[in-house]
Amino acid sequence: MAETALIAVGGNSLIRAGEKGTIAEQFANSRRTAQAIVQIIRLGFHVVVTHGNGPQVGAALIRSERAADQVYSHPLDVCDATTQGEIGYLLQQSLQIELAAAGLNTPVATIVTQVVVSAADPAMEHPTKPIGPFYSAREAESRRQQLGWSIVEDAARGYRRVVASPEPLEIVEEGVIRRLIETGVLVVAVGGGGIPVVRSGRGMLRGVEAVIDKDRASALLAARLKAEYFIISTDADRVYLNYKKPDQRPLGRVTAAEVEGYYRDGQFPPGNMGPKVQSALRFLRDGGKEVIITSYERLLDAVRGEAGTHIVRGGPGG
């Protein structure tokens, strides 16, 4: 029986360093990512695709804010939904093109996905996730007073809005995703970590102003689908110890226990590789077989065991 791999494509994989992030650039990058994904399918894997939306949701917020005096504005949960459609379209079309070129008659569907979080999550009272553009001190204070935003200072670049990043608890469309997969559909889902919603009276859903970490939500979906592999595509070819220091060292094949030890030693900071490593460990604890972390350029090589960082269950040396 074919094994299942959930591939989480980073938002920064679609907008590369130094690019403006035009649709043409994102489409070209999504085509290259799709080529690698189709090659993985040709190796015999069932594949599910998720993606980030960091740069794209920032752009959506800027558009909404700057056009607010002419058209209705979008709250953050609607911006999440908008970028799910935007990026899903780019990936869906790219995958359709590459599947056809490979002679594969595989249907592709993007699912606008809601993810339940808890209104009582401590993160809701302590926003930490920076989003959107940088502001001057005066602009930031104006928005804090008028819109009730939480603001943090970046000493080098100015002031920025921060929002809550709560833990994902439930994927609302999980059943739909599962049924599509069972009928042979290549599904794109949980874009940007999903649209954050809370359950109110009688189980009704309500969107909230938050951002769910893409890798945490992807790990949850991978575990719920009982996928064997969780593959994180990012802008680094491997996970490194002492990253960007003279003595940096790449990790090849390591155990979860070894990685957990490195994490406790402070090797993976929250704003960089930390959430990816946490998500990897969670997936393995929930029964996953292996996590692969690599760049989209090395996706196929990594699945073949020739590149990337591979984290497997077991103790040191096991």
Do the beta carbons of residue 37 and residue 7 sit within 8 Å? yes
Establish whether 289 is a catalytic residue. no
- Selected catalytic residue, list 10, 11, 52, 288: 11
**Residue (of 128, 163, 286) closest to 216 by Cα position:** 286
Q: What's phi and psi for 273, nearest 5 deg?
A: -90, -10
Q: Is 272 a catalytic residue?
A: no
Distances (CA, A) of 50 to 35, 40, 87, 178, 310: 16, 15, 10, 14, 19
Instruction: Please count the residues of the chain.
Output: 318
Q: Rg of the chain over CA atoms, in angstroms?
A: 19
Which one of 193, 194, 276, 288 is the catalytic residue? Answer: 276
Is 20 annotated as catalytic?
A: no
Give the position of tokens 């997969």: 181
Active site residue 214: yes
Catalytic residue among 54, 192, 194, 214: 214
Contact in structure between 73 and 134 (CB atoms under 8 Å): no
Set 12, 207, 274, 289: catalytic member: 12
Instruction: Please pick, among 53, 58, 88, 129, the residue that the annotation labels catalytic.
Output: 129
Active-site residue flag, 271: no
Residues with catalytic roles: 11-12, 129, 214, 276
